[in-house]
Structure 1
Amino acid sequence: MKKYKWGMIGTGWIAHEMADALNKVNGEIYAVTALNKSKLKKFAAEKHVHKYYFKAEELIADPDIDVIYIATPHTYHYDFIKKALNAGKHVLCEKAITVNAQQFDEVEQLATSKGLILSEGFTLYHMPLFKRVLQTIAENKLGEIKLIQVNFGSLKDYDPQNRFFNKELAGGALLDIGGYAVAFARIFLTEQPNTALTTVKFFETGVDEQSGIILKNSQEQLAVISLSMRAKQPKRGIISGTKGYVEINDYPRATSAEFTYTADAHTQEKETISTGASDKALCYEVADMQRYIENGHDEGQLKLSHDVAHILDSVRTAWGLKFPS
């Protein structure tokens, strides 16, 4: 596979992980930029990056760069994606790819019109396990899928100044961890939900601290989601059908799934499927992104992100939550 020249915007903790993945899969990193100059220089030296820029616009304008990875707070994604696409660069952006569906639709259309790949950094789109689980479901081993349950609870330290609770930076559980839960649900629903029922508890800064969400589509499949930023929960998803169910733990980077088959009322047969490695999650992401670019299509990944963005919007609209930006 071709070696691509990647440019990175941002040097936070996830950018450190992505840099390691890029060095493993792509063999090198071409350029990086960040606001903090000392951290930028240190990052470039540690990750063996060829060039660094003090301004993101300078990196985006570099004609040698093929693809740009964006790892900034949510509120900066939209502008950087537009600038990168308009400069002819493919883009891999961390979740949430945009803060609302209107922004998403705009960058999706822009990428399509320019024939560029735009992808969102959801690890669960790329873990090998999910392809195996979908294949098993397609073989009708669980029967007709009826119900999906998804939990994600993260216990963040009480700190109103932290970006997780910062309304100016589009903080809150929904955009930080909720995207994973909603993406999990959407992967296993046969079509996009058309109904969203929800309730929320707000943090003192005005962002969502925890919530319950029920989604339903025209086939009457249900997805029940619980989220929290101040109470730990297992990252667990359960897909239930007329012939059984499958449990997936730590689903953002899952490597195993336990199937329980219940078609026989007297016996329950169990099967465990294991594949992939959680510490290679971002390597899978990079490899998929480079394959998308190589083949000229994203294998339906952006459509999933489109649906997730619109679900998140409908939930936030029901809460009456608007971000200052």
Structure 2
Amino acid sequence: MTKYNWGIIGTGWIAHEMADALNKVNGEIYAVADVNEEMLKKFAQEKHIDRTFTNPDEMINDPAIDIIYIATPHTFHYEYIKKALNAGKHVFAEKAITVNAKQFDEVEQLAKEKGLILTEGFTLYHMPIYQKVLEMIKDGKLGQIKMIQVNFGSLKDYDPKNRFFNKDLAGGALLDIGGYATAFARTFLSATPESILTTVKFFETGVDEQSGIILKNSKDEMAVMALSMRAKQPKRGVVSGTKGYVEISNYPRAVEADITYTSDAHGETHEKIIAGDSAKALEYEVADMQRYIEQGHDDGQLALSRDVAHILNSVRTSWGMKFPFEDQD
């Protein structure tokens, strides 16, 4: 595999994890940028990075860099993605890749015009177990898919000042954890949802604290999602068909799928599929990103992200919830 020059923007916890994955898969990290010089120096020393930038724009414009990895809060993604693409860099951005569908459509089109790879950091797109399950569904072992159920509950401390509850920083459950649930649902829906029903309970700061979301597509496949920021739920997804169902726990970094076949006249039968290693989730992301560049396409990954972005946008619109920095027209 070709070695690429990666540049990291941001030094938070996910950037630490990604840096370890980059060092394992790619062998090194070319540069890192952060406006906080103290955090920047500490990060660079820990991750063995020689080049540091307190101005991310300067790093983006370094002609030696091939790929920009964006690990900042959501609100900064859009501008950095545009700058990186315009500088001729491939981009791997953490979720949510943008805060709304309008931003997504713009950066998707820009990447297409520039002939560059743009990828979103949903680990479940890259975990080996999903290819196994999708192959099983394609082979008809679950029959016709009817229903998908998926939960994600995170118990955040009560702190109205925390970024998770900050409307100015695109806080709330939907963009923080809802993307994962929606990505799971869209992975197993065979067509884009056309009907979306939802209800929400807002936190005192005006962001969504918990919600229920129902999706239905033209094939009458349905997905039911439950999200919460102040109540823990299991990260559990279930895909149900006319011949059985598959349960996937810890689905963002899943390695196991439990299958129950229900069409047997003699009763239920069970099967377990195991694939991958949850500890290598970000290594799979790095390897796939570099493979996308080498092959010149992303295996349809950005198309899934497009649907996720538009679903999340439609949900928020139905709630009447806008972030202060978004267009008011």
Output the TM-score relative to the length of structure 2.
0.98
Query: What is the identity, as a one-letter code, of the residue corresponding to 2:104?
Result: F
Structure 2 equivalent of residue 155 of structure 1: 155
Residue 28 of structure 1 pairs with residue 28 of structure 2: yes
Provide Cα deviations, 1:53-94, integer angstroms capped at 9, x if missing partner: 010000001000000000000000000000000000000000
Q: Which has the higher mean CA deviation after the structures are superposed, 260-269 or 151-160?
A: 260-269
SS at match of 1:226: strand
User: In structure 2, what is the Cα distance between the partners aligned to 1:160 and 1:265?
Assistant: 55
Structure 2 equivalent of residue 235 of structure 1: 235
Identity of aligned residues (%): 74
Structure 2 equivalent of residue 103 of structure 1: 103
Residue 323 of structure 1 deviates from its aligned partner by 0.2
Structure 1 equivalent of residue 130 of structure 2: 130
Structure 2 equivalent of residue 67 of structure 1: 67
Provide Cα deviations, 1:152-208, integer angstroms capped at 9, x if missing partner: 000000000110000000000000000000000000000000010000000000000
Query: What is the identity, as a one-letter code, of the residue corresponding to 1:246?
Result: V
Structure 1 equivalent of residue 323 of structure 2: 323
Structure 2 equivalent of residue 166 of structure 1: 166
Structure 1 equivalent of residue 297 of structure 2: 297
Query: What is the identity, as a one-letter code, of the residue corresponding to 1:214?
Result: I
User: In structure 2, what is the Cα distance between the partners aligned to 1:309 and 1:265?
Assistant: 42
Structure 2 portions without partners, runs of 5+: none
Residue 266 of structure 1 deviates from its aligned partner by 3.4
Residue 181 of structure 1 pairs with residue 181 of structure 2: yes
User: In structure 1, what is the Cα distance between the partners aligned to 2:59 and 2:154?
Assistant: 34
Provide Cα deviations, 1:106-145, integer angstroms capped at 9, x if missing partner: 0000000000000000000000000000000011000000
Residue 265 of structure 1 deviates from its aligned partner by 4.1
User: In structure 2, what is the Cα distance between the partners aligned to 1:86 and 1:107?
Assistant: 10
Residue 190 of structure 1 pairs with residue 190 of structure 2: yes
SS at match of 1:49: coil
SS at match of 2:193: coil
Structure 2 equivalent of residue 278 of structure 1: 278
User: In structure 2, what is the Cα distance between the partners aligned to 1:231 and 1:10?
Assistant: 28
Structure 2 equivalent of residue 51 of structure 1: 51
SS at match of 1:158: coil
User: In structure 1, what is the Cα distance between the partners aligned to 2:221 and 2:61?
Assistant: 46
User: In structure 2, what is the Cα distance between the partners aligned to 1:62 and 1:35?
Assistant: 17
Query: What is the identity, as a one-letter code, of the residue corresponding to 1:298?
Result: D
Q: Which has the higher mean CA deviation after the structures are superposed, 110-119 or 260-269?
A: 260-269
User: In structure 1, what is the Cα distance between the partners aligned to 2:202 and 2:34?
Assistant: 31
Residue correspondences, number: 325
Query: What is the identity, as a one-letter code, of the residue corresponding to 2:155?
Result: L
Structure 1 equivalent of residue 200 of structure 2: 200
User: In structure 2, what is the Cα distance between the partners aligned to 1:218 and 1:42?
Assistant: 52
User: In structure 2, what is the Cα distance between the partners aligned to 1:66 and 1:129?
Assistant: 29
Residue 35 of structure 1 deviates from its aligned partner by 1.4
Residue 115 of structure 1 pairs with residue 115 of structure 2: yes
User: In structure 2, what is the Cα distance between the partners aligned to 1:265 and 1:110?
Assistant: 54
Structure 1 equivalent of residue 209 of structure 2: 209
Query: What is the identity, as a one-letter code, of the residue corresponding to 1:121?
Result: G
Q: Which has the higher mean CA deviation after the structures are superposed, 258-267 or 159-168?
A: 258-267
SS at match of 1:129: helix
User: In structure 1, what is the Cα distance between the partners aligned to 2:11 and 2:314?
Assistant: 32
User: In structure 2, what is the Cα distance between the partners aligned to 1:45 and 1:153?
Assistant: 35
User: In structure 1, what is the Cα distance between the partners aligned to 2:267 and 2:41?
Assistant: 61
Structure 1 equivalent of residue 257 of structure 2: 257
Query: What is the identity, as a one-letter code, of the residue corresponding to 2:70?
Result: I
User: In structure 1, what is the Cα distance between the partners aligned to 2:71 and 2:264?
Assistant: 48
Query: What is the identity, as a one-letter code, of the residue corresponding to 1:74?
Result: H
SS at match of 1:159: coil
Query: What is the identity, as a one-letter code, of the residue corresponding to 1:32?
Result: V
User: In structure 2, what is the Cα distance between the partners aligned to 1:295 and 1:191?
Assistant: 26
Structure 2 equivalent of residue 2 of structure 1: 2
Provide Cα deviations, 1:241-269, integer angstroms capped at 9, x if missing partner: 00000000000000000000001243111
Output the TM-score relative to the length of structure 1.
1.00
Aligned pairs (5 A) from 1:82-101: 82-101=82-101
